Amino acid sequence: MNEALLKVEHLTVGYANENENVRILENVSFSVGQGEIVGIVGESGCGKSLTSLSVMGLLAEPLQIQTGSINFNGTDLTRLGKKELNRYRGKEIAMIFQEPMTSLNPVFTIGNQISEAMTTHLNMNKKEVLERTVYLLKQVGIPSAEHRVHEYPHQLSGGMRQRAMIAMALACDPLLLIADEPTTALDVTIQAQILDLLLDIQREKNMSLIFITHDLGVLFKMADRVMVMYGGRIIESAPMKKLYDNPLHPYTQGLWKAVPSSTKGKGRLYNIPGTVPDPKDNTKGCRFASRCEFVEKRCLESEPPLLKKAEDWQVACFLHDE
């Protein structure tokens, strides 16, 4: 792997609740190399989006980083104030949010919103900003870009809004792009187009990419490495090919079985029984134990640590603690 551009170590995020400390993320550690695509996968409520918001410094009250560091290109972002963080956000680290209709401001044109980061971070005049905005819209495949740049979000289709969000994130050529479920609200054909577009841009710019999704099938064609999250922890981390050939954690196995193509012609779509635990419940033992078909007594009593199975493979499961 290339030298780490982003290195997150022992990140714990939580809040105080009636004299009790509630931890939403706990001891999350990972790195992203220059030009590497890292996937983060898990169900809703597993901590994927919260991890990305922590990196961006966008946690909402009362949530706060309680322990850990987020080192980006040699700087610990957790030690920066809001003004210093703003020098990185939008310029060196950018994010594509889940739902473009709620992320885009309805009262400003697409062009205004894409150009905001350039106006803030780059020394460009109005003419240069407009030219680059049109160029970005063309780059992400929006037709009639010279016309669309003056339109409002409601005048664009869902696919075009998502492309506009990508253009906004790429405005200042960031070193790291975080894509938080960028295809969730789109139909299958548009999803494939957006994924291909992100891959093309990532390869062209050798940009680091964190791709967040609940669908392991999406990551199969994109990611170099994958982190599986559950209950605010990383429970398995491995190169994509290894995770595809031989997933170790029962939860990872369940996610693979839930991919639609895996049940083709075999009846109903697989569903992992139960739900993700509430962080406020302060679950003892393995957080997946109540849903796991291999559960043992020790799983209910203590939490399995994240252990190395190979140089590039970690798993938190007592089935693999030899």
pLDDT above 80 for 264: no
Domain topology for 4-92+174-320: Rossmann fold (3.40.50)
pLDDT grade for 199, boundaries at 50, 70 and 90: very high
55 by Cβ neighbours in 10 Å (0-12 / 13-18 / 19+) ranks as buried
Q: What are the sequence ranges of the domains in the chain?
A: 4-92+174-320, 100-173
Query: Quick one: tokens of 216?
Result: 């392991």
Residue 85 pLDDT more than 70? Answer: yes
Kindly tell me if the per-residue pLDDT of 285 is higher than 50.
Answer: yes
If we measure between CA atoms, which residue out of 71, 72, 16, 22 comes closest to residue 47? 22
H/E run at residue 251? helix 250-257
Residue 279, pLDDT score: 87
Average pLDDT over residues 226-234: 97
Q: Does residue 62 have a cis peptide bond before it, meaning omega lies within 30 degrees of 0?
A: yes
pLDDT at residue 288 tops 70: yes
Whole-angstrom Cα distance, residue 267 to residue 75? 51
pLDDT of residue 2: 59
- The mean pLDDT value for 57-73 works out to 95
CA distance 233 to 213: 16
Contact call for residues 47 and 12 (beta carbons, < 8 A): no
Percentage, residues of the chain above pLDDT 90: 76
Query: What does the pLDDT read at residue 280?
Result: 84
